[in-house]
């Protein structure tokens, strides 16, 4: 891990970093935002700065130089969480339970962050509404998803944005959608694109297969297509399986690996996951569902795969999987949605396809497998792009620069 050279006298002396109410940091239960925060905070430690990380308790020792403030679950919060998990996305009770837990969590967060110079909140704007902002105190909101455009919550979000000093978005797609909802606050929105660690996500060669022994048995005569992410309908995993049935018919040596769960480690099996297993049908023997895998295994899986597919059918905010795959030296086929075209240059360092089109996805994957020289050139170009523009060092510099504008 590289250290960013920053003078503490140029920056806020104390920063409280706050994640949403569900998962802990260190990211022992997974969570893309939580892992992102963990990586970023490890690189924001500098002499003279008090850096605190507020989340649910992880119950492990974190990194030296970071103060971990755990907000324990209450009995009521656990009850509402279980209620939320039992009902469907269309049931209003799910959102009532979510709002109750956000409020309960935020009230206690407000108590522990009141003396910090800067409060850096991730992905949950409503926490801002519970803060007792002091004179001179700054609030930065970092949006990893497109929550701000949700119509039902806009009155709450407008009040939160009014109190925030800056809103960082992970892509221009997210920024533009937010501005369309809150044009009066256009000047508060900025873009800092996501990053990854090319020292961790890199080509591992034969070591990758060895490190995955006991998880997946790789056949050297087969070609492996990989999906990594949440198993939810918006991620388009069903589209990928439909495409794979065609891919496997055209290239019988292909295999599909689906790595992930409905949300995070320990998440309950859903009806959608059962639907995916059923959808596999006659090609089920060529598909492996690994369940949730930690990052220390995913880095080898990216490297061992031949193609990584991101088949999202929604406006994907950014697509961390894409830059992790590119960094690993693996070719990428992804839907042309949301912030993904801001990362991939079609035909140069990846392939973009129309979302919800199994036929187009099939042709893109088969074309890459049928043209290994083109595939290799694309992988080299993708890895080069990550090294030049998508490292954590670049991201932290940009965030610190945004913080500095608030002094």
Instruction: Report DSSP letters for 34-62, one per residue.
Output: HHHHHHHHHTS--TT-EEEEEEB---S--
DSSP 287: E
How far is the C-alpha of 337 from the C-alpha of 179, rounded, in Å? 18
Q: What is the pLDDT of residues 169-181, one digit of tens each?
A: 999 999 999 999 9
As beta bridge partners, residue 72 has none
The structure tokens listed for 350 are 């990846």
Q: Do the strands 189-191 and 223-228 form a parallel or antiparallel pair, or are they unpaired?
A: unpaired
Do the Cβ atoms of 278 and 247 come closer than 8 Å? no
The neighbour count for residue 356, using CB atoms within 10 Å, is: 16
Cis peptide before 26 (omega within 30 of 0): yes
Segments in the chain below pLDDT 50 = 1-10
Q: What is the pLDDT of residues 199-210, one digit of tens each?
A: 999 999 999 999
Q: What is the pLDDT of residue 5?
A: 43
DSSP 224: E
As beta bridge partners, residue 159 has none
Q: What is the pTM of this model?
A: 0.90
How far is the C-alpha of 364 from the C-alpha of 360, rounded, in Å? 6
How far is the C-alpha of 303 from the C-alpha of 210, rounded, in Å? 12
Q: What is the pLDDT of residue 268?
A: 65
Residue indicated by tokens 């409060």: 119
How far is the C-alpha of 241 from the C-alpha of 311, rounded, in Å? 10
Handedness of CA 352, 320, 379, 286 (dihedral sign): negative
Residue indicated by tokens 């801002």: 128
Q: What is the pLDDT of residues 230-240, one digit of tens each?
A: 999 999 999 99
Tell which residue, 161, 316, 154, has the closest CA to residue 235.
316
Q: What is the pLDDT of residue 251?
A: 98
């Amino acid at each position: 891990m590289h250290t960013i050279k920053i003078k503490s006298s140029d920056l806020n002396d104390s920063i409280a970093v706050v994640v949403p109410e569900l998962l802990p940091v260190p990211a022992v239960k997974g969570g893309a935002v939580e892992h992102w925060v963990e990586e970023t905070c490890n690189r924001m430690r500098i002499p003279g700065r008090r850096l605190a990380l507020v989340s649910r308790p992880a119950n492990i020792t974190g990194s030296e130089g970071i103060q971990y403030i755990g907000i324990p679950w209450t009995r009521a919060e656990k009850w509402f969480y279980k209620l939320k998990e039992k009902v469907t996305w269309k049931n209003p009770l799910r959102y009532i339970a979510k709002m109750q837990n956000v409020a309960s969590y935020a009230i206690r967060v407000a108590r522990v962050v009141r003396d910090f110079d800067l409060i850096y909140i991730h992905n949950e704007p409503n926490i801002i509404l519970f803060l007792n902002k002091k004179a001179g105190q700054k609030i930065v909101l970092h949006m990893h998803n497109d929550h701000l455009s949700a119509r039902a919550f806009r009155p709450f979000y407008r009040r939160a944005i009014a109190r925030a000093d800056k809103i960082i978005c992970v892509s221009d797609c997210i920024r533009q959608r937010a501005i369309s909802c809150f044009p009066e606050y256009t000047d508060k929105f900025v873009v800092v694109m996501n990053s990854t660690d090319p020292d961790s996500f890199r080509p591992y060669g034969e070591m990758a297969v060895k490190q995955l022994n006991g998880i997946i048995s790789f056949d050297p005569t087969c070609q492996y297509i990989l999906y990594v992410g949440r198993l939810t309908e918006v991620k388009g995993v069903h589209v990928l399986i439909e495409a794979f049935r065609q891919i496997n018919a055209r290239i019988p040596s292909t295999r599909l690996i689906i790595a992930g769960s409905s949300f995070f480690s320990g998440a309950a099996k859903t009806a959608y996951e059962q639907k995916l297993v059923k959808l596999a049908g006659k090609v089920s023997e060529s598909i492996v569902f690994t369940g949730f895998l930690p990052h220390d295994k995913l880095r080898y899986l990216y490297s061992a795969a031949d193609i990584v597919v991101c088949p999202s059918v929604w406006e994907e905010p950014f697509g961390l999987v894409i830059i992790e795959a590119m960094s690993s030296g693996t070719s990428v086929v992804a839907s042309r949605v949301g912030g993904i075209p801001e990362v991939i240059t079609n035909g140069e360092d990846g392939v973009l396809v129309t979302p919800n089109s199994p036929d187009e996805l099939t042709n893109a994957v088969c074309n890459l497998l049928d043209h290994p020289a083109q595939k290799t050139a694309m992988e080299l170009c993708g890895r080069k792009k990550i090294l030049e523009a998508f490292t954590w060092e670049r991201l932290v510099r940009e965030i610190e620069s945004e913080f500095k504008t608030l002094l």
